[in-house]
Structure 1
Amino acid sequence: MQADWSLMRDRQFARLFCARTASMGGSAFAPIALSFGVLHLPGGDAETLSYVLTAESVPMIAFLLFGGVIADRFPRQRVMMVGEFCSAIAFGSLAFLLMTGDPPLWLLCVAAAFSGIGIAIMSPALTGIIPEVLKPHQLQSGNALLALGANTARIAGLVFAGGIVALVGGAWALVGASLLFATSGVVVSGLRGTADRRGSSSGSTLGDLKQGWREFSSRQWIWVVVLQFSFLVMLFQACFGVLGPVLSDTELGGAGPWAWVLTGDAIGMVLGVFIALRVRPKRPIFVGVLMTALATPPFLALGLGAPLWIVVVLAVVMGAAFDLFGVLWNTSLQRLVPAEALSRVAAYDAFGSLMFGPLGLLLAGHAVVWWGARESMIGASLLMLLAVGAALLSPEVRRLRAPEYEPVPVMVTAAD
């Protein structure tokens, strides 16, 4: 399967591509800028960083289901626009607070909370808008091309963010993130023709949530993988949000080496796009879940004190595996879940996957104090592997076939 670059001639898809790419650039600036900006504040430490990141994660999780409801009711283009501008305002506020030199922790937490709300509003709408822009046979290519743009922006964002943090501090990197989110909001505001589905709504938020839950819970392959990711994301949040930056700051030399690890992950995601453009596995969910096992090696290597270049190479492999999973997962959702409920199912997916994330952030800061950063990283990586094995016990995860590989039913007529 070759990349369908002709999709870029479609003005709707090209606009969505540009908006998604700018948004991911902002998302790449934010983690490094915020993590090292907080760590370098007077009195900043692992526990302070845990509180700020938790303040971002909790509202994001709390608003995800509401974001899915409004994205299934209203034009998804408008919902995405609101989410991007909310993120722009939040990161601009965080930048201003860090520039003051010694902001109150509660103000940092409030600003971080608004960034989480922006993500919660935007994310379900993005999943749902793609099938409105593309035809069914274009979905895998379209998802892969969107991932290519996003991951390229992620690499550039990580490289520039690490440099800006090292040269002038995290606050100015957060200014860059704010401008990129605002750019995405402006670009997506010109997207036209997305559906208004208020006529298909049950009339109440609770009723819409119940309908979405029926679509979500009736498919074992969805809820099992989401349950797996609820534990994976908890461990990722601990490793990426706290343990990794702390290890980098204390043992590897600061923001620069950690930016290289994140950049390796992003480069792997770009490579994963080209794999996703060329493979159509018969059992996409089984293949995707197997790929998530490759999250363990880079964190294990980091915990064991491996040289930085080995960690970066393993991060490349991890990025490629997770991008392939992401394309296969999103394409399966978009093809097998009814369009009118897709954003709500995506919201339940995100809600379930992220629900233990704040716990990981909170525990990570304490784990550094209790056991040490290296020991905590090793333990987290081994728990990731256990979560993958548990998901593979599900029959639907192992056996679900892509629609094109489903056997064609034989029609029997009276003449036969």
Structure 2
Amino acid sequence: MSDQSAVRRFCAATAVSLTGDAFTVIALPFAILAGGGTAGDIGFVLAARATTAVVFLLFGGVIGDRFPRKNILIMAALGRGLVMAVMAVLCLPGMYSTAGFVALQALHGIASSVTLPATTGLVRDLAGPSGVLRANSRITMIRNVTTTGAPVAAGAMLAVLIPFWGLAIDAVSYGVAALLYATLPVPARRNGGTGILTDLKDGWRAFISFPWLWRGVAMAAIFQLGVLGPVAVLGPVVAQDELGGASIWGFMTAANGLGAVIGSWVVSKVQLRDPLRWFYLSLLPSAAAPIALGLTWPLWAQLIAQAAAGWTLAFGGVLWETVIQTAVPPDRLSRVSAYDWLGSSALRPLSLATVGPLVAVMGPAGLLIGVSTALVTLAVFCSMSRRATSYQVAEITART
């Protein structure tokens, strides 16, 4: 049964914490530089958080299926709030330490690793099978609005205040989010489990038992490898060399965010009988972004292409998350979600690292157009594959 009041409070907690995160995204690099750190130090600090978030992700899935997900999110929010509060203190004169920032961001990543799988399960618990599409649409819209608009406010604030305030706002936002999580209904007590390795194996067996699931994760990994990485690296380069500089890339990024907001709204208004087929087909517009960059289309066309790419990520992402939450048994949902997150994002570092060597061989245009062609081919093939799409329809029908 769907508890819309609880879903709204969960969305409010999400909005508050994501707004705080947006302030940290802007403030953190400048806090490091203000303390005497270098560009390399910024990389180490960001890598510490990203690494632990991935390394402990499967463990987070086990935790999410063993213990009440509401309590996990409360503890994770309080932990991340404490981390950001200490980091804010380290921004004060004479307090900065790169090693301290690295250690604290590593702890932040661990807390994030338990948050993602627990969130997937809790949304399903609160919204119920019939309400997850609408709930996911709201959450995705909130995420895109905050990540598009909040950095502007953060940048304006940091123009007149020291980075301490950006990190302090993030710390407070986590405290507010924890209070909102505490108002959610108390979930049923979960099974204590039989051992971490046993739980991981059970989650893996559940993951591979759905052919549509691991095929979709493989497609998402290829999308990360072949599209998101090259666009993230070459987009600013093309904007600088061909389109007018960093301000133009800023407009293109904003167009991407606007497209994502529209996509997350549209998906909540449609009823699709075959959501996974539409998930694959929704990837097709994203090919416009690398094609536009590769062929150096004019600015108006670049903006449309970026908006189409943002629409793809939101529309397809909501469909994918909804299918998982509806088709996977609730007692294995966090573990399966952890494998999904891990598989979908594992190739992103490789993608970012290999763009340079590939450009040296293929050139920017060749690489961008090549990955677009591969994306379209794979998406069309998967949309026509019965094992990639039809099995999940039976699962959803059986559970709704």
User: Do they fold alike, i.e. is TM over 0.5?
Assistant: yes
Deviation string 1:1-20 (CA, Å, 9 cap, x unpaired) is xxxxxx7x843222112112
Whether the 8 Å contact between 1:300 and 1:378 is mirrored in structure 2 is: no
1:329 aligns with 2:320: yes
Deviation string 1:75-108 (CA, Å, 9 cap, x unpaired) is 1011112222333344445555566699565444
Whether the 8 Å contact between 2:291 and 2:372 is mirrored in structure 1 is: no
Q: In structure 2, the residue corresponding to 1:111 is in which secondary structure?
A: helix
Q: Which stretch of the first structure deviates more once superposed, 76-85 or 241-250?
A: 241-250
Aligned to 2:20: 26
What does residue range 313-392 of structure 1 map to in structure 2 within 5 Å? 313-362=304-353, 367=356, 379=367, 382-383=370-371, 386-387=374-375, 389-390=377-378, 392=381
Q: Which stretch of the first structure deviates more once superposed, 147-156 or 165-174?
A: 165-174
What does residue range 221-240 of structure 1 map to in structure 2 within 5 Å? 221-234=212-225, 238=229
Q: Distance in 1 between matches of 2:36 and 2:231?
A: 22
Aligned to 2:266: 275
Q: Distance in 1 between matches of 2:170 and 2:249?
A: 18
CA shift in 2, pair 1:134/1:380, >3 Å: same
Q: Distance in 2 between matches of 1:304 and 1:180?
A: 42
Aligned to 1:178: 171
**1:119 positional shift:** 1.7
Aligned to 2:138: 145
CA shift in 2, pair 1:43/1:149, >3 Å: closer
Aligned to 2:285: 294
Whether the 8 Å contact between 1:303 and 1:375 is mirrored in structure 2 is: no
Q: In structure 1, the residue corresponding to 2:130 is in which secondary structure?
A: helix
Whether the 8 Å contact between 1:50 and 1:361 is mirrored in structure 2 is: no
Aligned to 1:15: 9
1:111 aligns with 2:104: yes
Q: Which stretch of the first structure deviates more once superposed, 164-173 or 106-115?
A: 164-173
Normalised by the size of structure 1, how large is the TM-score? 0.79
1:191 aligns with 2:179: no
Q: In structure 2, the residue corresponding to 1:137 is in which secondary structure?
A: coil
1:66 to 59, 69, 74: 59
Whether the 8 Å contact between 1:232 and 1:384 is mirrored in structure 2 is: no
Q: Which stretch of the first structure deviates more once superposed, 185-194 or 83-92?
A: 83-92
Q: Distance in 2 between matches of 1:341 and 1:263?
A: 37
Q: Distance in 2 between matches of 1:101 and 1:243?
A: 38
Q: Which stretch of the first structure deviates more once superposed, 299-308 or 211-220?
A: 299-308
Unaligned runs of 5+ in 1: 1-6, 408-416
Aligned to 1:4: none
Q: Distance in 2 between matches of 1:241 and 1:101?
A: 35
1:263 aligns with 2:254: yes
Measured on the aligned residues, the alpha-carbon RMSD in Å equals 3.8
Q: In structure 1, the residue corresponding to 2:189 is in which secondary structure?
A: coil
Aligned to 1:123: 116
Which amino acid is the alignment partner of residue 122 of structure 1? Answer: T
**Percent of matched pairs sharing the same residue:** 28
Q: Distance in 1 between matches of 2:298 and 2:37?
A: 30
Q: Which stretch of the first structure deviates more once superposed, 299-308 or 125-134?
A: 299-308
Q: Distance in 2 between matches of 1:102 and 1:261?
A: 38
Q: Distance in 1 between matches of 2:148 and 2:248?
A: 14
1:213 aligns with 2:204: yes
CA shift in 2, pair 1:142/1:35, >3 Å: same
Q: In structure 2, the residue corresponding to 1:120 is in which secondary structure?
A: helix
Q: In structure 1, the residue corresponding to 2:271 is in which secondary structure?
A: coil
Q: Distance in 2 between matches of 1:101 and 1:264?
A: 40
Q: Distance in 1 between matches of 2:364 and 2:177?
A: 37
CA shift in 2, pair 1:242/1:40, >3 Å: farther
Q: Which stretch of the first structure deviates more once superposed, 230-239 or 314-323?
A: 230-239
Which amino acid is the alignment partner of residue 183 of structure 1? Answer: V
Normalised by the size of structure 2, how large is the TM-score? 0.81
**1:317 positional shift:** 1.9
CA shift in 2, pair 1:83/1:313, >3 Å: farther
Whether the 8 Å contact between 1:243 and 1:377 is mirrored in structure 2 is: no
Q: Distance in 2 between matches of 1:245 and 1:112?
A: 27
Q: In structure 2, the residue corresponding to 1:67 is in which secondary structure?
A: helix
1:78 aligns with 2:66: no
